[in-house]
Amino acid sequence: MPVLKKNIWLVFYALVLTGSILLAYISYVRWYDIKESLQKQQQYQVELVKNSVSSVLENQSILLRVIGSQITKDVFLNHPDAIRSLFDEQLRLNPELAGIGVSRPDGTPFIVSKNLRQLPRLNLSTAKETSESFKRALVSQDVVIGRTYYHPNLKEWIIPIRKSLRTQEGELYGLVAVGVYLEGTSFWSSATHINPHHQLSVVRDSDLYFQFYSSGWNNSQQSYNKPLTQNSFDTFVQRSTEKYQISEFELRNGSTQISLEYNVRGDSVFSDIRFNPDLGLWFVSEMKNSAVWDVFYHTFWIYCLIFGSTLVIIFFLFKLIYQADKKRHQALVYQAHHDKLTALPNRNYILYKEAERFEKPDNPFSIIFIDMDRFKNINDSYGHKFGDKVLIEITRRLKVSCNSNDLIARLSGDEFLILTSETNPTELTSKAKKIIQTLCEPYDINKQHFILGASAGIAQYPAHGDNLEAVLSSADLAMFDAKTLKSSVSFFDPIMMNDHIDRLKIEQELHRGLSESEFYMVYQPKIDGDGKVYGVEALVRWKNQQLGFVPPDRFISVAESCGLIPALGEFIIKTTLTDIASLQKEIDFEFNVAINISVQQFFHANFVDLLEQEIAGRNIPYDKITLEITESLFIEDIDALLLILQRIRSLGMEISLDDFGTGFSSLGMLRRLPIDELKIDKSFVDNILTEEPARQMVQSIIAISQNYQMSVIAEGVEEIEQAQLLKDFGCYHFQGYHFARPLPLDELREFIIHNRAQASPVAD
């Protein structure tokens, strides 16, 4: 069936061909049927003519013999009146007779029937048409049928039959003759034409003159006066004897019915021939092939009409099927190339319909790759139907902010693509920013008010890739870069590619790192205002066979994006708790341990359960454990975040907000969330001595912590002056190289022991 669908017109052509062959075959059979039937008619006709002509001529011959026997020599010489009355009586009785006459042996007419008496008489031995048969009759004992001739006086065509009159001793004393009408007798009426292409003839064997000619094709006057050529007769005899495998003698005994085909003046003719040996006459029926064609054309025309109209019906049927199929196919192609929800073109559309664009490097164009931030939250919180509505609204906004020449496509879930002919980087960036701005405007759907972020990456053809996949992955990298900043736009830079490749290498090696225990923990002491260690921050380290030492801020994000964070996080938690528990026991000193928790790890289903389970067995008080989180958590589902934070809090653990000041947490959010500590980011500490804004930032973070009853710690303290200033501003907790670097467990033990023995206040 699929093959049939594919080649529907092939099937149609095959049908036409088969139909035509069938039509040709039927026509061929029909043509021969017609010919056969005409041949049969012709045979019948020949038979009929032969019988009727023979019977007329034989009857008249008998009559002549009877008359001849009545005209004895005595009667001939002495009783002319008796002959006259005999003739008149016979003429009256026999309407087929044109006349009766008796002549002397020299040919001079003696007595004729009544109808001829007033007319001028012919000398039969000298007249051209009669002389030959007259002379033959003089020497013959039997009746002689003469050539058909035109009797000028009677104005009729006559067949003469003659018989010599002799005494018993054989003495010739006269010749009696009857003339038989050619027309108007049963002779004539039996010789009707089957069709205009048919003709009948009776040919005399003796001299090859026509005895009768139905004048189908020719002028009869000429026909009766001119014999057939001996040549054509010989050809006929030869063909017949060859065809029927008989001798000429057998041919002439009249038992074989002969059918032949030959050409007559360019026309092909089929004939049927009989011979009457008694009369010495050939009865010939000939018909041109045109007769077959005449009947055939009539039938053929009807066949063609039926065939043609059937074809037309089938054609329209096929056309209907074809069109329905085409429509179905187009619908399928449309479905395959368009997104069902938004009706926007999809990736396939660009791949197949826009493929040409990627073959013309002279026609550069750009791709703006857009990804909605936090869209997953929408689906999770409000359900997919609601999410669909949001996507439709996003589509509407995209359409509004693009111009008509731009192609907007939906690549997947919340990823959109704009293909534009704009190539100027400044214009492009501002166009992308405008789009992002539109997408970031508040949404109001089903009475729900919310804000969504969107990030855009821009890449160009052919500068950033020579095919769709390459340009798309460049745009994707740029988008990934934009994502780190949230709701921003990034233009592709080849560095991103290197970065991407590095990330790929890291991703590959991470698996091995985990299975081959390449990770280990170090601990950076946290110092209070008195210079005493009050806690440590656990920091993970990775020394890979291939890549060497990989810093955590490189591999943590890769582990996050490739789903390895739960395993790595579990390792960090277990190792840290084991190390710290054993150290605390060993040196009999309880101190705080801060563990960094990444976003993915935080939201992992059984994160808190795992934590609880690991802490329980190790005898570390919950209040000596701090979890360091970052502001990036806040862009996720706040309600879910709150639940987890509250659970952590209820267990007694503390929460520290790392890298504070670099993200975008609002004061309102800080008040809602159970946070114990703010960690001033290293970037501010770095500049605290030299830059006023950094100083102001540090001061306001400290002020916030005081307002919200949170503690505050500064990280990245490398110089005593920084610590001094921080202390002046009101921050009494420090972490940094000035005090200690992140240390392996052994060194940490030494550091703490040493610190406990001789710690002195930080600055004054």
- Which residue, 98 or 556, has its beta carbon nearer to ligand C2E? 556
Handedness of CA 432, 437, 440, 445 (dihedral sign): negative
Smaller CB distance to ligand C2E: residue 422 or 628?
628
Q: Is the dihedral of CA 743, 745, 750, 755 positive or negative?
A: positive
Residue number, 362 or 553, with CB nearest to ligand C2E: 553
Q: Which is nearer to ligand C2E, 294 or 718 (CB)?
A: 718
Give yes or no for a contact between 246 and 258, defined as CB atoms under 8 angstroms apart: no
Q: Smallest gap, in angstroms, from Cβ of residue 417 to ligand C2E?
A: 32
Please choose, from the candidates 232, 256, 64, the residue with its C-alpha nearest in 3D space to the C-alpha of residue 143: 64
Find which of Ca ion, ligand C2E, none residue 402 binds, CB within 5 to 8 Å per kind.
Answer: none
Contact in structure between 154 and 98 (CB atoms under 8 Å)? yes
**Count of alpha carbons within 13 angstroms of residue 721, beta-carbon side:** 6
User: What DSSP letter does each residue of 537-577 carry, written as one string?
Assistant: EEEEEEEETTTEEE-HHHHHHHHHHTT-HHHHHHHHHHHHH
Q: Determine which residue in the list 556, 641, 653, 710 makes contact with ligand C2E, applying CB under 6 A.
A: 556
**C-alpha to C-alpha distance for 653 and 607, rounded to whole angstroms:** 14
* Shortest distance, position 425 Cβ to ligand C2E, whole Å: 33
Residue with Cβ nearer ligand C2E (370 or 726)? 726
User: In whole angstroms, how close is the CB of 666 to Ca ion at the nearest point?
Assistant: 20
Q: Which of residues 557-576 bind ligand C2E (CB under 6 A)?
A: 572
Alpha carbon distances (Å) from 736 to 471, 688, 718 = 43, 14, 6
Count residues near ligand C2E (CB under 6 A).
24
76 burial class (0-12, 13-18, 19+ CB within 10 angstroms)? buried
Q: Which lies closer to ligand C2E via its Cβ, residue 179 or residue 569?
A: 569
Q: Residue 164, Cβ neighbours under 10 Å: how many?
A: 22
Residue whose CB is less far from ligand C2E, 215 or 578: 578
- Comparing CB distances to ligand C2E, the nearer of 406 and 715 is 715
Question: Which residue stretch of 210-218, 438-446, 621-629, 728-736 sits at the interface with Ca ion (rule: CB under 5 A)?
Answer: 621-629
Q: List Cβ neighbours of 717 (8 Å cut-off, separation of 6 or more).
A: 685, 723, 726, 734, 735, 736, 737, 738, 739
Smallest separation (angstroms) from ligand C2E to the CB of 764: 21
Binding mask 652-691 for ligand C2E (x = CB under 6 A): ------xx----------------------x---------
Q: What is the DSSP string of 226-250?
A: SPPPHHHHHHHHHHHHHHHT--HHH
Residue with tokens 């267990």: 651
- Could you say which of Ca ion, ligand C2E, none residue 572 binds, taking C-beta under 5 to 8 angstroms by partner kind? ligand C2E
How far apart CA 543 and CA 72 sit, in angstroms, is 159
Q: Residue 524's binding partner, choosing from ligand C2E, Ca ion, none, with beta-carbon cut-off 5 to 8 A by kind?
A: ligand C2E
Neighbours of 553 (CB within 10 A): 7
CA–CA separation, 679 vs 715, rounded Å?
A: 7
Which residues ranging from 699 to 718 are in contact with ligand C2E (CB under 6 A)?
Answer: 715-718
Show the beta-strand stretches assigned E in 421-567: 443-445, 448-450, 453-461, 489-491, 519-528, 533-544, 548-550
Is the Cβ of residue 303 or residue 534 nearer to Ca ion in the bound state?
534
CB neighbours of 94 closer than 8 A, spacing ≥ 6? 63
Q: Is residue 130 involved in binding ligand C2E (CB under 6 A)?
A: no
Residue 737 binds what, of Ca ion, ligand C2E, none (CB under 5 to 8 Å, by partner type)? ligand C2E
- Least Cβ distance, residue 705 to ligand C2E (angstroms): 17
In the complex, the smallest distance separating the C-beta of residue 748 from ligand C2E, rounded to whole angstroms, is 14
Among 482, 658, 699, 701, binds Ca ion (CB under 5 A): 658
- Enumerate residues 306-335 that contact ligand C2E by CB under 6 A: none
Q: In the window 598-627, what residues touch ligand C2E (CB under 6 A)?
A: 598
Q: What is the rounded distance in angstroms from the CA atom of residue 65 to the CA atom of residue 56?
A: 14
CB of 649 to Ca ion, least distance (A): 19
| Burial of 172 (C-beta count, 10 Å sphere; 0-12/13-18/19+) | middle
Q: Which is nearer to ligand C2E, 415 or 636 (CB)?
A: 636
**Interactions with ligand C2E, residue window 735-764 (CB under 6 A):** 735-737, 742
Contact, 526 vs 733, CB < 8 A? yes
Residue pair 752/584 in contact (Cβ under 8 Å)? The answer is: no
Q: If contact means CB under 5 to 8 A according to the sort of partner, which of Ca ion, ligand C2E, none does residue 216 touch?
A: none
Smaller CB separation from ligand C2E, 52 or 683: 683
Cβ distance to Ca ion smaller for residue 110 or 571:
571
Residue 160's closest CA among 150, 151, 152, 148? 148
Site string for ligand C2E, 513-542 (x = CB under 6 A): -----------x-------------xxx--
What stretch of H or E contains 502? Answer: helix 494-515
Which range binds ligand C2E by CB under 6 A, 66-74, 169-177, 612-620, 731-739?
731-739
Judged by beta carbon, residue 538 or residue 678, the one nearer ligand C2E is 538
What track of x and - describes contact with Ca ion for positions 330 through 359 (by CB under 5 A)? Answer: ------------------------------
Residue with tokens 């048919």: 198
> Which of 155, 142, 84 has its CA nearest to residue 113?
84
Residue with tokens 């975040």: 641
Looking at beta carbons only, is 112 or 678 nearer to Ca ion? 678
CB of 570 to ligand C2E, least distance (A): 11
Reduced to 3 states (helix: H, G, I; strand: E, B; else coil), residue 26 is: helix
> Of the two residues 281 and 597, which places its CB atom closer to ligand C2E in the complex?
597
Q: Which does 692 bind (CB under 5 to 8 A by kind): Ca ion, ligand C2E, none?
A: none
How far apart are CB 530 and ligand C2E at their closest, in Å? Answer: 20
| Rounded Cα distance, 257 and 23, in Å | 34
299 near 30, Cβ under 8 Å? yes
Considering CB under 5 A, how many residues would be counted as binding Ca ion?
4
The sign of the torsion formed by the CA atoms of 357, 360, 362, 364 equals positive
Mark residues 572-601: x for contact with Ca ion by CB under 5 A, - for none: ------------------------x-----
Q: Considering CB distances under 5 to 8 angstroms, the limit depending on partner class, which of ligand C2E, Ca ion, none binds residue 339?
A: none
Q: Which is nearer to ligand C2E, 513 or 736 (CB)?
A: 736
Binding flags for ligand C2E, 191-230, as an x/- string (CB under 6 A): ----------------------------------------
d(CA 611, CA 354): 52
Out of 601, 659, 688, 710, the only residue in the binding site for Ca ion (CB under 5 A) is 659
Note the helical H segments in 140-205: 186-189
Q: How far is the CB of 628 from Ca ion (least distance, A)?
A: 4
CA pair distance 663, 629, nearest whole angstrom: 12
Q: Name the residue nearer to Ca ion (CB basis): 372 or 556.
A: 556
> Interface residues with Ca ion (CB under 5 A)?
596, 628, 658-659
> Interface residues with ligand C2E (CB under 6 A)?
524, 538-540, 551-553, 556, 572, 596-598, 628, 658-659, 682, 715-718, 735-737, 742
